[in-house]
Amino acid sequence: MVGMKPWQIAKKWQLENSEVPFEQLLCVYIKEGLVLSTDGSFLLARRGYWNGEDLYYGAVDPNCWVAQLAAGENPFNRFLEIAPEPLEYVAWQRRGREKWHVWSWDKFEKKIRRTKNG
């Protein structure tokens, strides 16, 4: 994937691992979430509700940022800088696996900042 921009890496992954077209997913996040796209990183995230077992979207009282696609150099560092507000949790899945990784905002922030600062 040398020479590809982070959004291109994310698009390639989406096309290979989902029946949902990248452009359709991108439109959802432009309308309902947060889109980060720079020369160095790409991330799609939106607010949701985590009840301890499942995630919900739509007409919910959000308590969680849900990252859909992330690519590039430390996209979560930039996310921490531009998220409109911290929510109780941050959730993501790794490489399309079913299991959700859900951390408290504080734990997530500490881990990301520690990784960034080495």
* Per-residue confidence (pLDDT) for residue 118, from 0 to 100: 43
The answer to which of 19-33, 67-81, 103-117 has the lowest mean pLDDT is 103-117
* Per-residue confidence (pLDDT) for residue 94, from 0 to 100: 83
* % of the chain surpassing 70 pLDDT: 94
Tell me the whole-structure pTM to 2 decimals.
Answer: 0.87
Task: Check residues 115 and 52 and name the one with the higher pLDDT.
Answer: 52
Confidence of residue 1 (pLDDT cuts 50, 70, 90): low
3-state secondary structure string across the chain = CCCCCHHHHHHHHHHHHCCCCHHHHHHHHHHHEEEEECCCEEEEEEEEEECCCCEECCCCCCCEEEEEEEEECCHHHHHHHHCCCCCCEEEECCCCCCCCEEEEHHHHHHHHHHHHHC
